[in-house]
Structure 1
């Protein structure tokens, strides 16, 4: 497993006093003040900076899609990866606005992708097996996906100097796998974990429920590695690995919506200290996301009724992280204001 050092909270009281002493009424900036303290604890600095940001969009396909758990065919994964690499997806537009770089990580797309400067090859296999009838992955494939995801994150931080990562995903059928993972790792009733995903009519949603009930009945796995092997998917597992890798490198991770939060929950179940480094960006409109947040003990920064994925919600939270850091580094103390030391 990837070791993560918990935050040293011995400095928390002093950092809270630093924030309280800024030129503002006590507590007037609400949860931004809490975020500022947490960022200082993560970075080990009283003047942290998060100017160099990277969004990692993890991509993979799902054997479950053969059973009709999505309203879209798996070929859409490859098409949307091409759209991301062309810079024309919603995530690209948002990234340009907030000043973040975007890379796509191929963890298990069921196609051979042409090399591209923004594409990271971390493919374990071409899609998962159909979890409705057999384990989606072998234990070795799970460990490979975790390790590859961690390596991508650590390389970005340690070799390229990124000081904050955001994680998102692209994978047709991945809300089905995420629902099964949440069902076991929360744990929570399966029906409460299943939502519309990319969009279903009533008939499609009923089919999704039936297929996932069949998959869940096939295995009683409850330990994190076993659950990940039974239900996949590769982009979710690699994303969990990236969260662990970033946490091991003492770097904050902005977590997107339902799928990314399920990956974060898996990372936390594998290594509880990873929770210290996860900043949950938003509350998704996807059914089940509230359960993920509750299981992870997380309160997201905003609720915008979004459910797109791709890391879009994580990107929109990036300016709030930078603002919280600026509270520490740029705002005068009340003492300096009153003494005229500006």
Structure 2
């Protein structure tokens, strides 16, 4: 596929039933079928960094299965993302499940390769450990990036059992390594008990602002999205979503559920409110299908990934030709 070719979109569901064929994300082509892509959807089946319930290694494929029902036009953003830019499924990054340090290096190297082609990444985890190597790779290309972290938890703790790389530590490591723009960091949807008040003090010193799930409930999604846009400005933005940002009623299939979370509607509306931000890559992690009755969690995750992919596709199209982006809506 050349850069002038029209994007190849998903399989036509009026001709091939949604339940038939391989489960690529949104039934899109594989990367090897198109040769190049603007947005690479890539899985990282790794959950060795979890501190409670395992199973997120199966999350990427569960999201892909749930995404069979996604359709090519996104009315909420008035865009046909798969016509605006080439989006393809890049398969999985195979990381060593027995060695966290090696796995982190492998993920970083594979992300370097994909980003080196000019693609943006929509990564499907896996546990939240994978955010660190992904951020390292993105920062090599863009410099320190703004971060929006949707999660029930802070994930800025220091170590677990002496281990520096776990799903509860990636953003402390990222701040220490200088790969985040500390003037534009926010947690969204946090809630639940902590180890102590010092957790919040340490987090604030790193530069994070906090929007709790109660803030979203009281203030509403439009006000929250506006606050986040102002904090981010025009900086390159990375969005990291732990699906446990949703209440267990909306996302039971995750490793560390906490009561009192966002609804899936609130999450999607906040993401849509960020469509003007310069989104350079994103991840969605911690879907654990073993605990996910009726695919509630993986369906919500597939829709969140769809909104993020739409934002990136619209921005890619607009950067090439504002008029063609308008025509492809």
Instruction: Name the TM-score class by shorter chain.
Output: 0.3 to 0.5
Scaled by the length of structure 1, the TM-score of the pair is 0.36
> Relative contact order (C-alpha < 8 Å, sep 6+): which is higher?
1
Q: Which is helix-richer, 1 or 2?
A: 1
